[in-house]
Copies of this chain bind each other. A is one copy, B any other.
Amino acid sequence: MIKKNLLIAVAAAWLALAAGAGDAGPPTAPNGIVMVQGYREWQLVAPSFRPDKEHIRVILGNEAAIKACRSGARPFPDGAVFAKIAWKTRKHPEYPDAVIPGPFAQVEFMIKDAGKYKETGGWGFARFVGQELRPYGRDPGFARECFACHEPLAGNDFVFTVLAEVP
């Protein structure tokens, strides 16, 4: 009887593992945009601070995005991707005048593909929330909410952030 229970327990463990493996793909937004890899190494476009959300943020860009930011070419070329990373703010424990990143809050992407995303200015939007990178939105229509906010920026191809320049 002990042997049979052991066999059942082992089988159950394997089943759980198999079920887990089935879920192990990267997080995917309701519009099919898969969590982007390697974005943390991209170059800086600019930092920002959102007191209303208690977020400190940076906008990074892949090579195509940064190149277009520098040259001023608009619209951005297909393949340009921006990543906006937000952390909850905290005071530096050794220097409380400085507001610095606390826990990760979310990361948002804008992915340029003029054909594929023509309903939303040629940009695919995605947001992944919290440490578990939970995809934002119930269905593909969530991107209309993103685009509504970006729409007034038509003059900069719907992008809020400009390159923070140095002399």
| Segment 73-110 of A: residues with Cβ below 8 Å from B | 85, 87, 89, 92, 94-95, 97-101, 104, 107
Oligomeric state, in number of copies?
A: 2
- A40 → B minimal CB distance (Å): 5
- Is A49 positioned at the interface, with any CB of B under 8 Å from its CB? yes
Residues of B within 8 A of A58 (CB): 44, 47, 58, 164
- Chain A positions near chain B (C-beta within 8 angstroms): 39-41, 43-44, 46-52, 56-58, 60, 85, 87, 89, 92, 94-95, 97-101, 104, 107, 131-133, 149, 152-153, 160-161, 164-167
A163 to B78, CA, bound (A): 31
- Across the interface, do B60 and A95 meet the contact criterion of CB distance under 8 Å? no
